[in-house]
Amino acid sequence: METDKILVQSLNLRYGTKHALKHVSMKISGRSVTAFIGPSGCGKSTFLRCLNRMNDHIEGVRIDGKVLLDGEDIYDRRVDTTLLRKKVGMVFQQPNPFPMSIYDNIAYGPRLHGIKSKQELDGIVEEALKGAAIHEEVKDRLKKSALDLSGGQQQRLCIARALAVHPEVLLMDEPTSALDPVSTMKVEELVKGLKEKYTVIIVTHNMQQAARVSDHTAFFLEGEVVEFGPAGSIFSRPKDRRTEDYIMGRFG
Computed over every residue of the chain, the mean pLDDT equals: 96
- Look up residue 55 and give its DSSP letter: G
CA–CA–CA angle 188, 168, 58 (5° rounding) = 85
Residue pLDDT, tens place only, 238-251: 999 999 999 999 98
Collapsed DSSP state (helix, strand, coil) of residue 119: helix
Q: Which amino acid is at 201?
A: I
- Which pTM value belongs to this model? 0.96
Residue pLDDT, tens place only, 117-149: 999 999 999 999 999 999 999 999 999 999 999
Helix (H) or strand (E) holding 248: none
Residue 113: beta bridge partners? none
Average of pLDDT values for 204-230? 97
What value does the CA radius of gyration of the chain take, rounded to a whole number of Å?
18
Residue pair 212/33 in contact (Cβ under 8 Å)? The answer is no
Kindly give, in sequence order, each residue whose CB lies less than 8 Å from that of residue 60, ignoring residues fewer than 6 positions away: 15, 16
